[in-house]
């Protein structure tokens, strides 16, 4: 039986209730006991890799569905390979740990799962070699990160996306997200909801921490992996949905000014989900409202992640036993 969540009346978004659990150093512990040293290498130097995984609550079925658990953990292992971090678990084992964790937390609402693999040695010195590795995963209740209904206002950031030959964007490296944080804060403090970052060459890369799709002349456009994007899992979902509804997708470099003349635009990612963009740099996207193609893709996606579309059941892992 799924237990009701016990939490303070005003739990900040992204914070963990006292009833939450974590998996750390090979065992489950209450979230308040999941602690590391201030000397931990990953804390001091950003030498860690992570994933963001959503779990969606279906109230009618009283079921929590983990979204793309295998795909996320496969990517985590690839990120670890780039950063020379050994994760002592297989994908199947990581999926099992996550299912057990969510069952212990007992959430009856949408949740966010954060696995982190990191250099755990308590030492000073910049390197990746001759260091111990650690792994943890925890889960918190989590709703919408940014608006998914009305459309958001974006601006082109003054900060450029990190390059593959500097800090690889295809790996979710903890330290690299200062790039996203700089762009995100600049956008919000200037009155926008999100940032769009460019490559060093001036092509459109992605949002601060989300992939980007444009609609032009009835076709989807999205930047290629070589324009320093994260090879997003939800990006792949959008492409599958597009194929299922007969919508062409063109993967190519996108110029900045195409942001100003496209018909529709949306960001996508595990955190942002499907978030329509209705203006960029004070210029309306299309008619300045959420467009029909974005609405159609969004409807299919949100039905899928809550287990309401049988075509996409392979995306989901049921958490609670029937």
Based on the residue annotation, tell me whether 184 is a catalytic residue of this protein: no
What CATH fold (topology level) applies to the domain 152-305? D-amino Acid Aminotransferase; Chain A, domain 2 (3.20.10)
Is 317 in contact with 58 (CB distance < 8 Å)? no
pLDDT single digits (tens) 117-142: 999 999 999 999 999 999 999 999 98
Tell me the residue ranges of DSSP E strands in the chain: 21-24, 27-30, 48-50, 53-58, 63-67, 111-119, 133-141, 152-160, 194-198, 204-207, 211-216, 219-222, 249-251, 264-269, 273-280, 283-284, 316-318
pLDDT single digits (tens) 59-114: 999 999 999 999 999 999 999 999 999 999 999 999 999 999 999 999 999 999 99
CATH number of 21-141: 3.30.470.10
The pLDDT value given to residue 2: 38
From CA 272, how far away is CA 285, in angstroms rounded? 19
Confidence at 182, pLDDT banded by 50, 70, 90: very high
pTM reported for the whole predicted model: 0.93
The pLDDT value given to residue 135: 98
Kindly state the average pLDDT of the residues 251-278. 97
Catalytic, out of 172, 184, 219, 299:
172
The pLDDT value given to residue 6: 46
From CA 47, how far away is CA 42, in angstroms rounded? 4
The pLDDT value given to residue 149: 81
Query: What ranges do the domains of the chain cover?
Result: 21-141, 152-305
């Amino acid at each position: 039986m799924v237990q009701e969540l016990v939490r303070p009346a005003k739990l900040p978004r992204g914070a963990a209730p006292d009833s939450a659990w974590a998996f750390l150093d090979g065992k489950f512990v209450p979230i308040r006991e999941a602690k590391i040293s201030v000397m931990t290498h990953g804390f001091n130097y950003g030498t860690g890799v992570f994933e963001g995984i959503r779990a969606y609550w279906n109230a009618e079925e009283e079921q929590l569905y983990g979204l793309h658990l295998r795909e996320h953990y496969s990517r985590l292992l690839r990120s670890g390979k780039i950063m020379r971090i050994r994760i002592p678990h297989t994908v199947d084992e990581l999926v099992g740990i996550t299912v057990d964790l969510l069952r212990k937390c007992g959430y009856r609402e949408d949740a966010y799962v954060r696995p982190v693999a990191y250099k755990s040695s308590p030492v000073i010195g910049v390197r990746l070699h001759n260091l111990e590795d650690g792994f943890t995963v925890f889960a918190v209740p989590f709703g919408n990160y940014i608006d998914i209904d009305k459309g958001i206002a974006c601006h082109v950031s003054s900060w450029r996306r990190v390059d593959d030959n500097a800090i690889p964007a295809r790996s979710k490296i903890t330290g690299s997200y200062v790039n996203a944080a700089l762009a995100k804060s600049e956008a919000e403090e200037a009155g926008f909801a999100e940032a769009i970052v460019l490559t060093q060459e001036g092509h459109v890369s992605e949002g601060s921490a989300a992939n980007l799709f444009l609609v032009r002349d009835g076709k989807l456009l999205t930047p290629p992996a070589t324009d320093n994007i994260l090879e997003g899992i939800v990006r792949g979902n959008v492409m599958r949905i597009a194929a299922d509804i007969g919508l062409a997708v063109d993967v190519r470099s996108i110029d900045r000014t195409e942001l100003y003349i496209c018909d529709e635009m949306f960001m996508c990612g595990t955190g942002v989900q499907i978030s329509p963009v209705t203006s960029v740099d004070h210029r309306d996207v299309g008619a300045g409202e959420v467009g029909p193609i974005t609405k159609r893709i969004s409807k299919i996606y949100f039905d899928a992640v809550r287990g309401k579309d049988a075509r996409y059941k392979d995306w989901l892992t049921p958490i609670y036993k029937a």
